[in-house]
Amino acid sequence: MNLPDYQFISAPLWLVTLLHLLTFTLHLMAMNFLLGGVIITLLSSARKRWDDATAVKFARLFPAATAATVTLGVAPLLFLQLVYPRQVYAAAIVSGWFWLGVIAAVIVAYYALYRASFAGHRTGRAGDAVLLLALVGLLYVSLVYSSVFSMAEQPALAHDLYAKDQSGLVWNPAVGDYALRWLHMVLGALTVGGFFVGLLGRNDVEVFATGKRFFIGGMVAAALAGMVYLMSLEQLIGAFMRTPAIWALTASVALSLVSLHFFVRKNFWLSGVTLFLSVMGMVYARHTVRLLRLAGQFDPASWRVAPQWSPLLMFLACFVVMLIVLVWMLRMFFGAKKSAA
Amino acid sequence: MNYPFWDVPVAYGVLMAVIAVFHVFVSHFAIGGGLYLVVSEQLARKAGDTRRLEFLEKLSKFFVLVTLVAGALTGVGIWFIIGLIAPTATEALIHNYVWGWATEWTFFVVEIAAAMIYFYGWKTMTPRAHVTVGWIYFVFAWLSLFVINGIVTFMLTPGQWLATGDFWDGFFNPTFWPSLVLRTGVCVMLAGLYALLVASRCEVGAFKARTVRYSAGWGVAGLAVTALCQYWYWKAIPAAVTAKALQTMPTPICSMEISAWLAAGIGALLVVFGLLAPRKLGFGAAAALMVLGLAWFGAFEWFRESIRKPYILAGYIYGNGAEVAETANYKKNGYLAQMAFKTGDDGADLFRHACRSCHTLDGYKALKPAFDGTDRAFIAAIVRATHLLRGNMPPFLGTTAEADKIADHLGHHTDRRPLAEIYKLEGVELGRKAYAIRCGKCHVIGAASDKSKSFAGQSADDLNSLLNSAADMGEGMPAYTGDATERKALVAFLQTLGKGGQK
């Protein structure tokens, strides 16, 4: 019997890539609010810039932000595995225990955030120690992701590391390769976190000022780190400049400045939209860097495309239903909260 | 063979079980618990039962903490672990079912959002809106099960997909419906068990009695559906698979028997403490029910995983990651030629990719004690004949030279002294040990492959001749290579088998 071949992708590559980048951007927005929000809350609390009630208000949001981060992270991980399984699994296996440790770290962080949320509800204090524990968990996850996904873009490195050690206790030693990338991501989280803090604290002068500080400061620092990271790619820069990604990156920088402009004017709707588009542009630039680093070793366009139209339509229909139901539920929830207030 | 091998001291099966059993336990509760909450809320609102509404609100906090955190993250954990221990099969599954998983993701998003809104909306939302959100939660959680059930059952019974490669042929496979109804029953049962755990902490009185009785009713109803469907599920598995399991696979059969006993235990506790003496349900009994429920689910999942042997995707990919479609290629060019990641030690690499996903050297399903006291020729013969051994193992599809390399690798780690010296045994007891190591890998006494009756009336000379010609007696039979002491002891033991004694 001729068995079916599994070496194919079941939709046009452009569609899979679009879904990948879109869902990854959504994941980043939620993750940035979570990571940036926790850091900002901890710092503002420690410096006594915020009163306890403000810290509690934010702490109560973090469990929902974690749920959103995890949930929105599933889809891009799925599409990543669809297109780059050989690269991603190989790197994950080489660092197997660290990779698996991500789950434990997120569970600890998640429960710590719930604890902070419930503690704040009871005592009026968010509980800096548990927030700190959550932050350690989140930073661990970010470091593992940077390390593993960076290794995934260097198949030769994964081969060398595996040849020396098969235990799964190998940490990517090419720290210079991903340290700046990781730093850029954390600083980006502070930027987006600052936006959300300003949005949620728009009626409180001090909280809005905090948000603005982190939005501006994070943006400058993230831009610097991103620039240095790009420079560190050395021989890839020329190739990068010849791709549309350079325009996307330029547009992203401009859009982030537009977002800041609207943020200062407290037009959060336009500020949010432009910020989202800015992040999406950077995600596209990041995607291009991945392709350039893999060039000559793997090209996603080499996948045989064998569309599964009816399952794809089922997904798209369910995606629309998901949006409708989400909007309805959120309207019910926030509408009720407004009337209760 | 396209991936590196994660060489960890813990058995893959154990790692998978730890994460997966916990996840399925929580995730099924997440579905049944949602139904329990919304149905109970509707009844309580209709009856104006504020005490019950308070109880349900408390239950929903427990529900959110368990399902959203541990349930959702161990679900992601399954993604992580299968990519580490079975990357080829995971890749094959994702390529075939990416839109199934993507669809499930949309249900998952609604499920998580609805759970949070339901929990935080007790005090602020209108009863009608709150109940509607509760129903949305349950429907989407169950739809999530619907999709995942299609993919999980595909792994055991891919049905027509093997011929057509069509998404829907694989999705609506022979065990799809029995598994779906069975798992729905499990959801209902677990909802009852979790509610009993929370109810057991209530103050003793009329409220506790009726809450316990009501929740136990859920447990009993779910258990009844589950028990009936287990039979349906068994009958839906191709007869060739179940027949083979009954003949040569003790693990799934044993798991099934254990799950039946555990179900009986759950039923007994539910009837006694839930229906007959609800006021006496303490935390201990409720916790015991939870433990039994977890153990039952563990036994069922162990059955489902083990009856799939020698495959991880039935008829498509073997448990060790070798692809059925590549059989001719492996036989012609060997495994090594297909390996994308190598360490420079061919024997170790071959051992990892051919054996290590199920066996360790001296831990779980250890190979060292299985080969201590033997030699390279015997080990190589066994490696070449894995498909004939008990336990329904994957065939070794590599070349003869590669089997020899595995034998060298294993031989390097085994004790090469004679069996008598290793185990300090003599006479029939030494023969029994020699039988276990040399013969028992295929010929399990009392099983279908038992040949002991043929030894009846045979003299020591006859049996010695038999051992001399062992390699010529059939496919996969290894030559007998034990020393004189071991041979004499083995013959003595075979004679006792021929007499029908000392088994």
Reply yes or no on whether the pLDDT at B498 is more than 80: no
B100 touches chain A (CB under 8 A): yes
- Of A159, A166, A330, which has the smallest distance from its Cβ to B5's Cβ? A166
Contacts A–B by Cβ distance under 8 A = 208
Closest-CA residue of chain B to A170 = B6
Q: How much is the pTM? A: 0.92
Considering its fold, how many domains does chain A have in total?
Answer: 1
d(CA B152, CA B27): 14
Of all residues in chain B, the percent with pLDDT exceeding 70 is: 99
H or E segment to which residue B146 belongs: helix B127-156
Residues of B in contact with A4 (CB under 8 A): 96, 161-162, 164-165
Set of chain B residues whose Cβ sits within 8 Å of the Cβ of A332: 117, 121, 125, 129, 132-133
**Residue B294: how many CB atoms within 10 A of its CB?**
18
Partner residue opposite A90 with nearest CB, options B4, B100, B102: B4
% of chain B residues with pLDDT over 90: 75
Higher pLDDT, B473 or B356: B356
Q: What is the mean pLDDT of residues B11-29?
A: 88
Residue A312 in any domain: the answer is: no
For the stretch B199-209, pLDDT in tens is: 898 888 888 99
- In which band, very low, low, confident or very high, does the pLDDT at B113 lie, cut at 50, 70 and 90? very high
CB contact under 8 A, B106 and A326: no
pLDDT tens for B240-272 read: 999 888 888 888 889 999 999 999 999 999 999
Give me the pLDDT at residue A291, please. Answer: 96
**3-state DSSP of chain A:** CCCCCCCCECCCHHHHHHHHHHHHHHHHHHHHHHHHHHHHHHHHHHCCCCCHHHHHHHHCCHHHHHHHHHHHHHHHHHHHHHHCHHHHHHHHHHCHHHHHHHHHHHHHHHHHHHHHHHHHHHHCCCCHHHHHHHHHHHHHHHHHHHHHHHHHCCHHHHHHHHHHCCCCCCCCCCHHHHHHHHHHHHHHHHHHHHHHHHHHCCCCHHHHHHHHHHHHHHHHHHHHHHHHHHHHCCHHHHHHHCCCHHHHHHHHHHHHHHHHHHHHCCCHHHHHHHHHHHHHHHHHHHHHHHHHHHCCCCCHHHCCECCCHHHHHHHHHHHHHHHHHHHHHHHHHHHHHHHHC
Rounded mean pLDDT of B435-439?
Answer: 93
Pairwise CB contact (< 8 Å): A329 & B352: no
pLDDT of residue A37: 94
Q: Does B461 touch chain A (CB under 8 A)?
A: no
Q: Select from B4, B83, B109 the Cβ nearest to the Cβ of A322.
A: B109
Question: Is the pLDDT confidence value at B288 over 90?
Answer: yes
A116 to chain B, any CB pair closer than 8 A? The answer is: no
pLDDT of residue B88: 97
Per the CB < 8 A criterion, the answer to whether B28 and B218 are in contact is no
Task: State residue A234's pLDDT score.
Answer: 82
pLDDT of amino acid A121: 65
Do residues B451 and B443 touch, judged by C-beta distance below 8 A? yes
If you average pLDDT over residues B48-54, what whole number do you get?
A: 92
Of A67, A82, A333, the CB nearest to B98: A82
Q: Which of residues 187-246 of B touch A (CB under 8 A)?
A: none
Mean pLDDT value of segment A180-195:
96
Is the pLDDT at B111 greater than 90? The verdict is: yes
Pairwise CB contact (< 8 Å): A92 & B83: yes
pLDDT band at A339 (very low <50, low <70, confident <90, very high): confident
Whether B324-413 shares its CATH topology with B419-498 is answered yes
Distant-in-sequence, close-in-space partners of B56: CB < 8 Å, separation ≥ 6: B37, B40, B41, B44
pLDDT of residue B458: 84
Predicted confidence at residue A49, as pLDDT, reads: 76
What residue segments make up the domains of chain B, in order of their start? 12-318, 324-413, 419-498
Interface contact B83-A89, CB threshold 8 A: yes
**Predicted pLDDT at A322:** 97
B87 touches chain A (CB under 8 A): yes
Q: Is A228 contained in some domain?
A: yes
pLDDT given at position A122: 65
Nearest CB to B341; choose among A5, A159, A330: A159
Q: Which domain holds residue A259?
A: 13-295
Segment A69-91, tens digit of pLDDT: 999 999 999 999 999 999 999 99
The predicted model gives B38-53 an average pLDDT of: 94
In a domain, A319, yes or no: no
Test A329 with B79 for CB contact under 8 angstroms: no
**CATH node for B419-498:** 1.10.760
Residue-level pLDDT at B70? 83
pLDDT in tens, B402-411: 999 999 999 9
Q: Which of A7, A17, A31, A74 should one mutate to test binding to chain B, selecting the residue with the greatest count of B CBs within 10 A?
A: A74
Confidence of residue B503 (pLDDT cuts 50, 70, 90): very low
Q: What is the pLDDT of residues B325-361, one digit of tens each?
A: 999 999 999 999 999 999 999 999 999 999 999 998 8
When pLDDT is averaged across residues A207-224 and rounded to a whole number, the result is: 95
* pLDDT, chain A, mean: 93
Question: Per the CB < 8 Å rule, is B105 touching A78?
Answer: yes
**Rounded average pLDDT over B20-32:** 91
pLDDT at B501 over 60: no
Write down the pLDDT at residue A1: 66
* Average per-residue pLDDT for chain B: 92
Note the pLDDT of residue B448. 74
* Cβ contact A103–B129 (<8 Å): no
Q: Name which of B6, B83, B117 is nearest A329 (Cβ-Cβ).
A: B117
Of A78, A114, A319, the CB nearest to B98: A78
* CATH 1.10.150 assigned to B324-413: no
Portion 72-101 of A in contact with B at CB < 8 A: 72-75, 77-79, 81-82, 85-86, 88-90, 92-94, 96-97, 99-100
Whether ipTM tops 0.90, in short, is yes
Report whether pLDDT(B295) > 80.
Answer: yes
Peptide bond into B310 cis (omega under 30): yes
- The pLDDT-based confidence of A126 (bands split at 50, 70, 90) is low
Asked if A325 has any chain B CB less than 8 Å from its own CB, the reply is: yes
Asked if A321 has any chain B CB less than 8 Å from its own CB, the reply is yes
On the question of pLDDT at A254 being above 60, the answer is yes
